Structure 1
Amino acid sequence: MLYDDLYDVGIAQRRRMFGPEGAEGQTEATTDLDDKLQEVVTRICFGDIWQREGLAVVDRSKITVGMLVALGKAHEIRVHLRGALANGVSPVELREIVLHAFLYAGIPAAVEGMRALKEVLAERGVDLDVEGGLAAATREARA
Structure 2
Amino acid sequence: MKNRYEFGMEMLNKVDGHAGEAVAAPLGDLGTLLVEWFGDIYGRDKLTLREREIATIAMLTVLNREPQLRVHLGAGSNVGLTRQEMEEVMTHSVLYGGFPTAINGMNLLNSMTLPGEVK
Structure 1 spans left out of the alignment, 5+ residues: 128-143
In the superposition, the TM-score normalised over structure 2's length comes to 0.87
The 2-side partners of 1:123 and 1:26 are apart by 17
Q: Which residue of 2 aligns with 1:17?
A: 15
- The reply to whether residue 114 of structure 1 matches residue 101 of structure 2 is no
The superposition leaves residues 105-142 of structure 1 with CA deviations (integer Å, 9 ceiling, x where unpaired) of: 00110011001111223686357xxxxxxxxxxxxxxx
Change (3 A) 1:126 1:109: farther
In the superposition, the TM-score normalised over structure 1's length comes to 0.74
Change (3 A) 1:69 1:9: same
Q: Which residue of 1 aligns with 2:37?
A: 44
The superposition leaves residues 73-110 of structure 1 with CA deviations (integer Å, 9 ceiling, x where unpaired) of: 01111110000100111111101000000111001100
Conserved in 1, the CA contact under 8 Å of 2:53 and 2:72?
yes
The 1-side partners of 2:76 and 2:100 are apart by 22
Larger Rg: 1
State the superposition RMSD in angstroms. Answer: 2.0
Structure 2 spans left out of the alignment, 5+ residues: none
Matched residue count: 118
Shift of 1:20: 2.4
Q: 1:99 aligns with which of 77, 91, 94?
A: 91
Identity %: 28
The 2-side partners of 1:40 and 1:122 are apart by 27
The 1-side partners of 2:114 and 2:3 are apart by 36
